[in-house]
Amino acid sequence: MKHRGLVVSIGSRSAQVFIDGLGEQRCVVRGNLYKQNTIETKPVAVGDHVVVEIGSTTADDAAIVEIEERKNQLARRAAGSRKHVGRGVHGVQEFEGGAKRRGGGRGRAVKRGRDGARGTHARGRRQQQPDDDALSDDGKLSDANERIVEGATSAAAGMGGGRGGARVRGQARVQVLAANIDRLIVVAAAADPPFRPGLVDRFLVAARDEGIDALVCVNKIDLEAEIPELRRVAKPYHDAGVAVLETSIVTGENIDALRDVMSQGVNLLVGHSGVGKSSLLNAVSPELALEVGRVTDYHGRGRHTTTRVTLLPLDSGGWVIDSPGIREFVLDNLTATEVARLFPGFNDLPLTCRFNDCLHQEEPGCAIVAAVESDDFDSERYIDYLRVLEDLA
């Protein structure tokens, strides 16, 4: 008999699937699903809607036989994989206690110029790209390299809300963090650990790219000495029209409001370790009883208590995907032009730039640079944008 279910956690070759009327079932993942999807490290992800076939003899004989198309996803490049060409991986996420940070270097990324020609743009860390000899006199890629790039892009095209497919030689494998997300909640602390706008901005850009509603939750506002700093870091997001909640599990401020927000749909909770994600979830839904860590004095980071991505039901309704603390999230799949369009706070200003692919640096007729120079756009936020642009992988 077949049932429709929701994946709540992932094992090595199996998954826990919630089925209405049956509860959670351990289901093996059929081998043909691995063969159909060689781009992702695992063919199923937390949040996937799947079809489960349960044997007639025993309830333990259950298998995932079909995975429904995703409406969106957030993913990272799998450990040891090369940078992939195309779309679908939303960040090189380095979890606390996980992979080490990459080294530096300079590099080029293939992009289209204002005339539509494919050229190169120096940015970020060194990545393997077609040799300079492969570029013709007019700046376009040679036919052979063009086919490689376009082929990889086509193979990955279904991953940003669809399914993976055949893997192109040299294309990176990706690990999907979560799928079918209704709301991304980026948790940051007012202090202890300090507020880091770079991670918040990157997640907001990724959410906008995937069409996911986003909320910034600034936690630990009971630390009175940090109130002026809190107001300073939260203001740009308020001004950008981003939903912001300032919370405290000590005073209970805005916990009810957060509970109401999370009572509908699937929420993905992300942020550095130590910002209070588990404590917030315990306050929102006490029955979860999640383990809570603390921030160490040595490096000002939290000790991660969540060790794997898990989908949990909330007492008040809705679901939450709890994820391990993330050290770094790089917008690995987006071009500089896309980041320039999606950065929180720019709103419709990029539409008034002279060039459609304006990166808001030294281009003539740039509306963002003009707004900064006339004090109509915050210069510190502009610097935050330049840092995100510089760190593109």
CATH code, domain with 30: 2.40.50.140
Domain end among 40, 67, 94:
67
The pLDDT-based confidence of 373 (bands split at 50, 70, 90) is very high
Residue 171: what pLDDT? 58
> Domain check: are 354 and 385 in the same one?
yes
The answer to whether position 365 is within a domain reads: yes
> Domain check: are 223 and 260 in the same one?
yes
**What total number of domains does the chain contain?**
3
The pLDDT-based confidence of 276 (bands split at 50, 70, 90) is confident
The answer to whether position 25 is within a domain reads: yes
> Domain check: are 292 and 377 in the same one?
no
Give the residue, 375 or 100, on which the prediction is more confident.
Answer: 375
pLDDT surpasses 80 at 303: no
The pLDDT-based confidence of 349 (bands split at 50, 70, 90) is very high
Distance (Å, whole) CA 214 – CA 261: 11
Which of 107-111, 211-215, 302-306, 369-373 is the least confident region? 107-111
pLDDT surpasses 50 at 356: yes
- The upper half-sphere exposure of residue 223, i.e. CA atoms within 13 Å in the direction of its Cβ, equals 16
Where residue 365 falls (left for φ over 0; alpha for ψ -120 to 50; beta otherwise) is left
Residue 90: what pLDDT? 55
Task: Give per-residue pLDDT as tens, 195-235.
Answer: 888 989 999 999 999 999 999 999 888 876 667 777 788 88
pTM of the entire predicted model = 0.73
Which of 66-80, 119-133, 180-194, 299-313 is the least confident region? 119-133
Task: Give per-residue pLDDT as tens, 82-131.
Answer: 554 444 455 544 444 443 333 333 333 333 333 333 333 333 333 333 33
Residue 78: what pLDDT? 66
Distance (Å, whole) CA 86 – CA 173: 12
Residue 232 DSSP SS3 = helix
Distance (Å, whole) CA 36 – CA 298: 46
pLDDT surpasses 90 at 376: yes
Quote the mean pLDDT of the chain.
75
CATH code, domain with 342: 1.10.40.50
How buried is residue 365: exposed, middle or buried, by Cβ count under 10 Å (0-12/13-18/19+)?
A: exposed
* Phi, psi for 270 (deg, rounded to 5): -135, 160
* Mean local confidence (pLDDT), 31-39: 83
Domain end among 67, 101, 118:
67
The pLDDT-based confidence of 369 (bands split at 50, 70, 90) is very high
The answer to whether position 89 is within a domain reads: no
> Domain check: are 212 and 269 in the same one?
yes
The answer to whether position 103 is within a domain reads: no
The pLDDT-based confidence of 320 (bands split at 50, 70, 90) is very high
The pLDDT-based confidence of 48 (bands split at 50, 70, 90) is very high
Of 186, 236, 258, the C-alpha closest to 343 is 236
The answer to whether position 111 is within a domain reads: no
* Mean local confidence (pLDDT), 350-364: 95
Residue 190: what pLDDT? 77
pLDDT surpasses 70 at 134: no
Residue 212: what pLDDT? 95
* Mean local confidence (pLDDT), 280-296: 76
> Domain check: are 203 and 274 in the same one?
yes
Length of the chain: 393
Q: How many CB atoms lie within 10 A of CB 186?
A: 26
The pLDDT-based confidence of 147 (bands split at 50, 70, 90) is very low
> Domain check: are 266 and 232 in the same one?
yes
Residue 145: what pLDDT? 34
Give the residue, 37 or 56, on which the prediction is more confident.
Answer: 37
The 3-class secondary structure across 283-327, one letter per residue, is HHCHHHCCCCCCECCCCCCECCCCCCCEEEECCCCCEEEECCCEE
* Mean local confidence (pLDDT), 361-373: 95
* Mean local confidence (pLDDT), 305-315: 79
Residue 81: what pLDDT? 60
Q: Which residues contact residue 69 at a Cβ distance below 8 angstroms, ignoring those fewer than 6 apart?
A: 161, 162, 163
CATH code, domain with 190: 3.40.50.300
Domain end among 281, 313, 329:
329
* Mean local confidence (pLDDT), 43-58: 86
Q: Are 323 and 306 in contact (CB under 8 A)?
A: yes
Distance (Å, whole) CA 186 – CA 66: 31
Q: How many CB atoms lie within 10 A of CB 303?
A: 14
Q: DSSP H helical segments within the chain, as ranges?
A: 31-36, 143-156, 197-210, 227-239, 255-262, 277-284, 336-342, 367-373, 379-390
Helix 197-210, helix 227-239: angle, nearest 10: 20
For 48-51, the CB contacts below 8 A with 24+ separation are 48/6, 48/7, 48/179, 48/180, 49/4, 49/5, 49/6, 49/7, 49/180, 50/4, 50/5, 50/6, 50/7, 50/15, 50/17, 51/2, 51/3, 51/4, 51/5
> Domain check: are 321 and 185 in the same one?
yes
Q: Which residues contact residue 370 at a Cβ distance below 8 angstroms, ignoring those fewer than 6 apart?
A: none
> Domain check: are 377 and 289 in the same one?
no
User: What one-character-per-residue DSSP string does 74-135 give?
Assistant: EEEEPTTPPPPSSS----EEEETTSPPPP-----EEEEE-TTS-EEEEE-SS------GGGB
The answer to whether position 97 is within a domain reads: no
Asked if the bond preceding 193 is cis, omega within 30° of 0, the reply is: yes
What ranges make up the beta strands (E) of 11-70? 14-19, 23-29, 49-54, 62-67
Residue 114: what pLDDT? 36
Task: Give per-residue pLDDT as tens, 153-200.
Answer: 333 333 344 555 555 555 567 778 899 999 999 998 877 788 888 989
> Domain check: are 230 and 342 in the same one?
no
The answer to whether position 159 is within a domain reads: no
Of 332, 323, 393, 8, the C-alpha closest to 177 is 323
The pLDDT-based confidence of 359 (bands split at 50, 70, 90) is very high
The answer to whether position 283 is within a domain reads: yes
> Domain check: are 314 and 225 in the same one?
yes
> Domain check: are 249 and 358 in the same one?
no
> Domain check: are 186 and 315 in the same one?
yes
Domain span at 26: 2-67
